[in-house]
Structure 1
Amino acid sequence: MKKWTLYSIAILTLLTLTSCEAVGTIFKAGMWWGIFLVCVIVVILLVIFSKGKSS
């Protein structure tokens, strides 16, 4: 049953989005995901360095 749900979502997406819109959406999501990961890594590094200075 899950297989049919996945297929129906994929078909619905392919029919409603043109290829340019689909690629644009994927890259937009990828850009925000990358920005989020960079921010998380910077915060982790700041926490590590601040703990190193305090001890």
Structure 2
Amino acid sequence: MTASRLSLFAFFLALATTLTSCDAIGSIFKAGAYTGIIAVFIVVALLFFIVNKMRGPRS
């Protein structure tokens, strides 16, 4: 019973995340193409920063 509740929670969490991100992307591109490009650049830079921090220091 607990596993099915966890699966249901994960499904609704994924659904909520997907719906809000689609709405956010729609509003970003309504603001203009340059705003969308800047937003994508910021997200990619943030992901790059997080991945580098997870790797640890380089030798």
State the TM-score, normalized to the length of structure 1: 0.57
Percent of aligned pairs with the same amino acid? 9
Task: Tell me what 2:22 maps to.
Answer: 42
Quote the Cα distance in structure 1 between the aligned partners of 2:14 and 2:2: 18
Quote the Cα distance in structure 1 between the aligned partners of 2:23 and 2:16: 11
What are structure 2's unaligned runs of at least 5 residues?
A: 34-59
Provide runs of 4+ in structure 1 moved above 6 Å: none
Name the count of aligned residue pairs.
33
Which secondary structure state, in structure 2, belongs to the residue aligned with residue 36 of structure 1? helix
Give the RMSD, CA atoms, in angstroms: 1.0
